[in-house]
């Protein structure tokens, strides 16, 4: 499978010419271009850095070939207008998106602060291999070959991220959700979350638009 990393949490996965797009949010400058090229979009949760509501609303109205999956808080706004092309998912579900198998894991966003309400959040395991957790450190009850690891945000913590990598036990770890880190911060995170310190698996950091075959 080829992973193409875009800004922040947005990732495109491709296998044998079949592609899916995950979390095209407002922090991804080329989200409109990516959605235009996609026929299958997966959304982990409702926060704007993971889903651009206006962008997907326009795309669904304009195109009959676009299909979207996500939690009810995301999909509920489109279900009535686009039956059969918008699907609500929750932990434990399985489906096929553009020919790729997807398992859904988890149910809630990580805690930011007790005063901030929790929202639904799901993670996607694609082709039994690559796992995008959204904004949570949920450990899926499945083997994960490649973990897409959030490294910055108001809910993240280095120690918890290290424990999360250890609990999941992937062969490859790829950074996502990085925009709140400076270049120096990203280098520091890679050190903390790498073999020199807290994780046996190096943290792979891809620039926006860069790809990795796993």
pLDDT-based confidence at residue 100 (cuts at 50, 70, 90): very high
Q: Is the pTM of this model over 0.85?
A: yes
| pLDDT for 69 | 98
| pLDDT for 54 | 97
| pLDDT for 196 | 93
pLDDT, tens only, 159-179:
999 999 999 999 999 999 999
| pLDDT for 82 | 97
pLDDT, tens only, 45-95:
999 999 999 999 999 999 999 999 999 999 999 999 999 999 999 999 999
| pLDDT for 1 | 96
pLDDT, tens only, 122-139:
999 999 999 999 999 999
| pLDDT for 80 | 94
Q: Sheet containing 94-97: which strands, arranged edge to edge?
A: 94-97, 100-105, 123-126, 130-132, 146-150, 172-176, 203-204
| pLDDT for 180 | 96
Phi, psi of 22 (to 5 degrees): -120, 130
The structural domains of the chain, ordered by start, are 2-213 (3.60.15.10)
For residue 176, give every residue at least 6 positions away whose Cβ sits within 8 Å of its Cβ, in sequence order, or none. Answer: 5, 8, 9, 11, 132, 148, 149, 150, 151
| pLDDT for 41 | 98
pLDDT, tens only, 16-55:
999 999 999 999 999 999 999 999 999 999 999 999 999 9
| pLDDT for 174 | 98
């Amino acid at each position: 499978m080829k992973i193409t990393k875009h800004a922040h949490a947005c990732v495109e996965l491709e296998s044998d010419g079949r592609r899916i797009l995950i979390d095209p949010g407002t922090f991804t400058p080329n989200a409109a271009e990516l959605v235009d090229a996609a026929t299958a979009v997966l959304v982990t949760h409702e926060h704007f850095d993971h889903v651009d509501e206006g962008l997907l609303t326009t795309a669904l109205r304009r195109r009959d070939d676009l299909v979207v999956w996500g939690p009810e808080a995301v999909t509920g706004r489109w279900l009535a207008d686009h039956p059969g092309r918008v699907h609500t998912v929750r932990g434990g579900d399985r489906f096929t998106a553009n020919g790729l198998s997807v398992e859904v894991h988890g149910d809630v966003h990580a805690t930011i602060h007790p005063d901030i309400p929790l929202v639904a959040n799901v993670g996607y395991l694609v082709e039994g291999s690559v796992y995008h957790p959204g904004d949570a450190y949920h450990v899926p009850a499945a083997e994960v070959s490649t973990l897409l690891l959030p490294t910055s945000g108001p809910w993240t913590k280095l120690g918890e991220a290290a424990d999360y990598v250890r609990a999941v036990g992937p062969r490859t770890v790829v950074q996502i959700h990085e925009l709140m880190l400076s270049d120096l911060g990203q280098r520091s995170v890679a050190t903390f979350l790498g073999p020199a310190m807290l994780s046996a698996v190096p943290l792979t950091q891809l620039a926006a638009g860069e790809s990795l075959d796993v």
